[in-house]
Amino acid sequence: MRRPRLVVHAHFYQPSRVNPFTGETPPDPTAAPARDWAARVTADCYRPNAASGALAHASWDLGPTLGSYLAHAAPDVLQDFAAADRAGGGRHHGPGIAQTYHHSILPYAPLHDRRTEIRWGLRSFEVRFGRPATQVWFPETAVDLATLRVAVEEGITGTVLAPWQADVDHLDRRAYRVATGGGRHLDVAFYDGDLSGAVSFVPDLTANADRFIREQLLPRLAPPLADGRAPTVVIASDGELYGHHQQFRDLFLRALVAPDANGPDRGFDVVTLGAFLADPSDDPHPEIRIRERTSWSCHHGVARWGGECPDAHDARWKAPLRGALDRLAGAVDVVTEMVGAQIPGLDDPWAARDAYVDVVLGLTDAEAFADACTGGKADAEDRGRLATLLEAQRWRLAMFASDGWFWEDPARPETATNLRAAARAARLVDALAGTSLERRLVRDLSILRSPATGLDGAALYRRALAEAGQPPPT
């Protein structure tokens, strides 16, 4: 029968704000009194939550780009996250789960990009936390069956999704299973939409944890399931909610998941996502289908990141932006295969790209990596060509970070970050192969227009380069 259970998942993420031409993150006056926004959110949220003890009890994912920032700028905070994972269950059902690497919307991505994003995310997690991950957070929980199939092939066993992503009229408070083909499946925790929405968007309800438990949570935990089992309620939200978006909510999180051991019994247990999905008393989970190409923050599927989503005032710029970057990505891939085929000892450029995350994470340098990829058969010039190709692929992947499409207008820092990544990829390939990818990119970008400023995409691209201290395109 067991007791009712609560899973609280926090999605911690910051986009990379690194200038791809210098490797440095520029200061941002809008983040004052902090140097930049990652530093600001670290002070407001990541540091207090990591120090509070709550993260040994809550479930969470730490975005790889955020992990890289913390490793450089706040290593003590990253160490506290790792300690929380060990204290909360470690190798078997620790509170930490992986996240795919660049926060790109995977249903829009070609198959080889989905695989690389998942592999880079898994590798980043293993490096940061010293163990392999068994669950993964998909950016914006954006999925389709093909994405889930790739995840299962890479060893992922579970994830969290929004309730409206289930292809049913009613969900019970338990785990489910999605068949991905070939006799394989993925376990899914669908979060409670009402409670998660209350935590995320109704500050008055989270001003006091005891009142929230009494008035909001316990009524959801009280009725048993139809088969008599006790229910499990899952709450999911952005991790930045706890202290940054809502001041002092780090204290709410700690009181919710890690109460005073000498306090009264609250009548339920707090468990990690991994422990919930792997509980043998719940096996087998009922099988369910998902709604294809859906997410947690767009009720029109994934249109927010590539189409004219009805929720946006004027989203006509989003599809042309994605089209321009898709065209650039395809061209970079063609050059990668053509030049890669000429490099002695390089059997598979895509396997090399999958492994290149070790260079991105600073575990090895590009020269040593290229030498290992070619089995010592390539000379210095060819090793340099391979390193250039893979660095171009790094930024070609980064240019699809979801933040570039999330907001109402492309004349924002997030889209500028994507455009700088695209410029870095295009310029590396043009210099290596004598192509004209940047010139074609500028032409493609000219189709879109900023609703707020009236600037077209080519002008936004030039502005993004100027802000990065780079010359305009020729």
Q: Are residues 85 and 147 in the same domain?
A: yes
Distance from C-alpha of 418 to C-alpha of 470, rounded to nearest angstrom: 15
Output the tens digit of pLDDT for each of the chain's 474 residues.
589 999 999 999 999 999 999 999 999 999 999 999 999 999 999 999 999 999 999 999 999 999 999 999 999 999 999 999 999 987 778 999 999 999 999 999 999 999 999 999 999 999 999 999 999 999 999 999 999 999 999 999 999 999 999 999 999 999 999 999 999 999 999 999 999 999 999 999 999 999 999 999 999 999 999 888 999 999 999 999 999 999 999 999 999 999 887 889 999 999 999 999 998 877 789 999 999 999 999 989 999 999 888 888 899 999 999 999 999 999 999 999 999 999 999 999 999 999 999 999 999 999 999 999 999 999 999 999 999 999 999 999 999 999 999 999 999 999 999 999 999 999 999 999 999 999 999 999 999 999 999 999 999 999 999 999 999 998
Environment class of residue 221 by beta-carbon count within 10 Å: exposed (0-12), middle (13-18) or buried (19+)? buried
The pLDDT, as a whole number, for residue 299 is: 86
Counted domains in the chain: 2
Host domain of residue 347:
306-467
Are 150 and 111 contacting, i.e. CB atoms less than 8 angstroms apart?
yes
**DSSP letter string over 347-411?**
--HHHHHHHTHHHHTTSS-HHHHHHHHTTT-S-HHHHHHHHHHHHHHHHHHHTTBTHHHHSS-SS
Distance from C-alpha of 148 to C-alpha of 138, rounded to nearest angstrom: 10
Distance from C-alpha of 223 to C-alpha of 217, rounded to nearest angstrom: 12
Could you tell me which residues are beta bridge partners of residue 104?
Answer: 401
The answer to the question of residue 10 being in a domain is: yes
Q: Are residues 176 and 266 in the same domain?
A: yes
- State pLDDT tens for residues 439-462: 999 999 999 999 999 999 999 999
Could you tell me the two tokens for 228? 């008599």
The pLDDT, as a whole number, for residue 280 is: 81
The answer to the question of residue 292 being in a domain is: no
Half-sphere exposure of 319 (CA within 13 A, CB side): 8
Distance from C-alpha of 121 to C-alpha of 67, rounded to nearest angstrom: 11
The pLDDT, as a whole number, for residue 2 is: 82
Distance from C-alpha of 407 to C-alpha of 319, rounded to nearest angstrom: 14
Q: Are residues 30 and 154 in the same domain?
A: yes
Distance from C-alpha of 303 to C-alpha of 288, rounded to nearest angstrom: 24
Residue tagged 């600037």 (tokens): 455
Q: How far is CA 456 from CA 52, 68, 165, 321, 442, in A?
A: 47, 33, 35, 11, 10
Q: Are residues 394 and 255 in the same domain?
A: no
In this prediction the pTM is: 0.97
- Of 43, 44, 9, nearest to 244 by C-alpha is 44
| CB within 8 Å of 380: residues ≥ 6 apart | none
The pLDDT, as a whole number, for residue 284 is: 83
The answer to the question of residue 177 being in a domain is: yes
Scanning 42-192, the segments in alpha helix (DSSP H) are 47-52, 64-73, 75-87, 90-93, 111-129, 145-153
Alpha carbon dihedral 92, 107, 103, 319, in 10-degree steps, equals: -170
The answer to the question of residue 474 being in a domain is: no
Q: Are residues 216 and 153 in the same domain?
A: yes
* Boundary residue ending a domain (249, 266, 282): 282
Residue 187 backbone dihedrals phi, psi, to 5 degrees: -80, 140
Distance from C-alpha of 253 to C-alpha of 298, rounded to nearest angstrom: 26
Q: Are residues 158 and 72 in the same domain?
A: yes
The answer to the question of residue 386 being in a domain is: yes
Q: Are residues 272 and 341 in the same domain?
A: no
The pLDDT, as a whole number, for residue 1 is: 53
Q: Are residues 144 and 259 in the same domain?
A: yes
The pLDDT, as a whole number, for residue 89 is: 86
Residue 287 backbone dihedrals phi, psi, to 5 degrees: -85, 145
Q: Are residues 275 and 329 in the same domain?
A: no
3-state secondary structure of 22: coil
CA end-to-end span of the chain:
70
Q: Are residues 350 and 424 in the same domain?
A: yes
Q: What is the DSSP letter of 130?
A: S
Distance from C-alpha of 317 to C-alpha of 82, rounded to nearest angstrom: 40
The answer to the question of residue 293 being in a domain is: no
Could you tell me the two tokens for 352? 């090399």
Alpha carbon dihedral 386, 388, 391, 395, in 10-degree steps, equals: -130
Could you tell me the two tokens for 30? 């809008």
Q: Are residues 113 and 191 in the same domain?
A: yes
3-state secondary structure of 49: helix
Distance from C-alpha of 309 to C-alpha of 300, rounded to nearest angstrom: 7
Could you tell me which residues are beta bridge partners of residue 456?
Answer: 449
Environment class of residue 33 by beta-carbon count within 10 Å: exposed (0-12), middle (13-18) or buried (19+)? exposed
Half-sphere exposure of 392 (CA within 13 A, CB side): 32
